[in-house]
Amino acid sequence: MKTKTVFVCQNCGTQAARWMGKCPNCEEWNSYVEETAIPRSEQSSIRVQLAAGVAVAPVLLKEVDVLQDRRYMTSIGEFDRVMGGGIVPGSVTLIGGDPGIGKSTIVLQAGCALARTGLKVLYVSGEESVKQAKMRADRVAQSANENFFIVNEIDVETITGYIHQLNPQVVIIDSIQVVHLAELSSSPGSVAQVRESAAVLTQLAKSRGVSLFFVGHVTKEGMLAGPRVLEHMVDGVLYFEGERYSSYRVLRANKNRFGSTNEIGVFEMTATGLQEVLNPSEIFLCERPEGSSGSVVVPIMEGTRPFLVEIQGLVSRSAFGMIRQKAQGFDANRLSLLAAVLEKRLGMNLGDKDIFLNVVGGVKVMDPAADLGVSLAVASALLDKVVPHDMAVLGEVGLSGEVRSVAQIASRVNEAQKLGFTRCIVPKNNLKNKNDFKPSNIRLIPVATVKEALDKL
């Protein structure tokens, strides 16, 4: 039989009959690699052979028995929250992040925690030997358990054999880019290998009710390496984020079929592994300077969790005739919009000024309730007026300069009150029904416009 070859983009998986310098789909340069094409019939037979003995017949939906609250808890509260309240049996989760960010550490700690609850866990390490993984487990103070199995293997057929043999409840693959199918001629990490290996393991996990975790590498743009179909194949996609020189890490869900995608978990990388940060607000505000202009505290929501972040603004005269607007942890386009509102509606002269914005602690703020805080931080830096140290600010800003209401205001204000703030600027419309919300030790200052908020300061 004649062997057919195709050229496959290693960034997005697009196939072509000939080599091209630039991918027409993702516009990536020099990403095409020649691979041997496998007919669909052979791909299907490979998957069937490796997942042999796990086929199930169709059943009536009304006869399916589902345990509503059946989830595996790791006792790592931050991890369980991001997972939606625990790990669902039979779910497949992909965890990505930069090199050295702590992906292997978090799955190792979660695996050891699950083994201590009596679950059988199989950790497949494709990048480390068994001794190296044991050294890392000792370093992060994870004691050995009779239910925790580890193996150094990259062949998918051998891995499926171990799953059939041990029958574990949880399997961790570290990482999906190094495992491979011997039937495919392409090298590990290629689009074909990642796609087919993940498909085989996912099919096996779904049919046997095994909770499966893939550890994945990311590209220089911060996206998960490999074909995009991998993200559609799994039930959850988690990103482990953090500044290179910061000890704090944020676990964020970009996709979750069994929970909210707005939840985040905050960890601190220490010599003994990743430790939970139970009060992120206190961590992010511990070094806030007093008597400095351009500093505003905003209560934001990440899923069901409120915490406070410090937003710093700096405005200076442009020295090169071309203004710059840079934002760290905040949408740069949103910053430009708010600057235009300040200039047009409040008459502030920002046309010849450089504007810099920073969210302290490496947090990425998506919450629209931070709009008023950003506006006041820029105005405070421009006017060199200090925002009171005991005041928090929240509210969404419209193009007319109006301050719009925000969701879950009670949780936000209570978090500010908990950390000792005595005053809080809030949207006026949020206080229409005062019977629903009566804080005790914090004074609420309602405002309808950004100008009114500045006047109150």
Residue 265 — left, alpha, or beta (φ > 0 → left; ψ -120 to 50 → alpha)?
Answer: beta
How many angstroms separate the Cα of 25 from the Cα of each of 6, 32, 231, 395, 428?
16, 12, 17, 40, 47
Residue 100 — left, alpha, or beta (φ > 0 → left; ψ -120 to 50 → alpha)?
Answer: left
CB 347 within 8 A of CB 277: no
**Tokens of residue 112, six digits:** 């050891």
**Boundaries of every domain in the chain:** 1-40, 71-278, 283-456
14 secondary structure, DSSP code: -
The distance from CA 43 to its chain's CA centroid, rounded to whole angstroms, is 32
Block mean pLDDT (10 aa), the chain, length 457: 72 81 85 70 49 64 71 91 91 90 91 91 92 86 78 93 94 91 80 87 91 86 69 90 78 89 86 86 81 92 86 89 89 95 92 92 87 96 92 95 92 89 93 69 92 90
**Tokens of residue 122, six digits:** 């199989």
Nearest C-alpha neighbor of 452 from the set 339, 358, 375? 375
CA distance 429 to 52: 61
CB 209 within 8 A of CB 27: no
What burial letters (b/e) apply to 321-340, b meaning 16+ CB within 10 Å? Answer: eeeebebebbbeebbeebbe
**Tokens of residue 64, six digits:** 């399916």
How many angstroms separate the Cα of 319 from the Cα of each of 293, 324, 335, 354, 384?
21, 10, 20, 9, 19
Please determine, looking at this structure, whether the domain spanning 283-456 carries the CATH number 2.40.50.140: no
CA distance 394 to 379: 15
What pLDDT does residue 341 have? 95
**Tokens of residue 71, six digits:** 């989830």
What pLDDT does residue 314 have? 95
DSSP for 86-150 reads SBPTT-EEEEEE-TTSSHHHHHHHHHHHHHHTT--EEEEESSS-HHHHHHHHHHTT----TTEEE
Strands in 32-36's sheet, in edge-to-edge order, are 15-16, 5-9, 32-36
What pLDDT does residue 49 have? 52
Tell which CATH classification among 3.90.79.10, 3.40.720.10, 3.30.470.20, 3.40.50.300 matches the domain 71-278.
Answer: 3.40.50.300
**Tokens of residue 255, six digits:** 């996709």
**Tokens of residue 198, six digits:** 């993940």
What burial letters (b/e) apply to 414-447, b meaning 16+ CB within 10 Å? Answer: bbbbeeebeebbbbbebeeeeeeeeeeebebbbb
Nearest C-alpha neighbor of 325 from the set 346, 363, 361, 353? 353
**Tokens of residue 435, six digits:** 């019977």
